[in-house]
């Protein structure tokens, strides 16, 4: 089971994902981290990674829906 993400993480992640839907990959790599850091002013690395985890989940879900 995964962690339950807060409303802030979900809403921020959804907005960032919509802004760059085609740029995200299904991997947790440096390119994705830089994109999130550039598009959101996140005060901590842990929060940025939590938001990125939510975005990765959305990217994988979108990829499955396309197939």
Instruction: Output the tens digit of pLDDT for each of the chain's 67 residues.
Output: 577 889 999 999 999 999 988 888 778 888 888 888 888 888 899 999 999 999 999 998 998 888 7
Q: Look up the pTM and report it.
A: 0.85
Distances in Å between the alpha carbon of 28 and those of 11, 49, 53, 57?
19, 9, 8, 10
- The whole-number pLDDT of residue 8 equals 92
- The whole-number pLDDT of residue 48 equals 92
Domain segments of the chain as ranges: 7-66
Tell me how far apart the alpha carbons of residues 49 and 53 are, in angstroms, rounded to a whole number.
6
At the second CATH level, the architecture of 7-66 is Orthogonal Bundle (1.10)
Burial of 39 (0-12, 13-18, 19+ CB in 10 A): middle
What's the CA angle centered on 40, arms 55 and 34, to 5 degrees?
Answer: 70
- The whole-number pLDDT of residue 30 equals 86
């Amino acid at each position: 089971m995964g962690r339950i993400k807060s409303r802030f993480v979900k809403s921020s992640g959804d907005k960032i994902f919509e802004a760059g839907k085609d740029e995200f990959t299904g991997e947790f790599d440096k390119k994705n981290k830089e994109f999130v850091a550039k598009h959101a002013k996140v005060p901590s690395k842990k929060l940025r990674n939590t938001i990125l985890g939510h975005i990765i989940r959305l990217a994988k879900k979108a990829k499955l829906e396309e197939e």
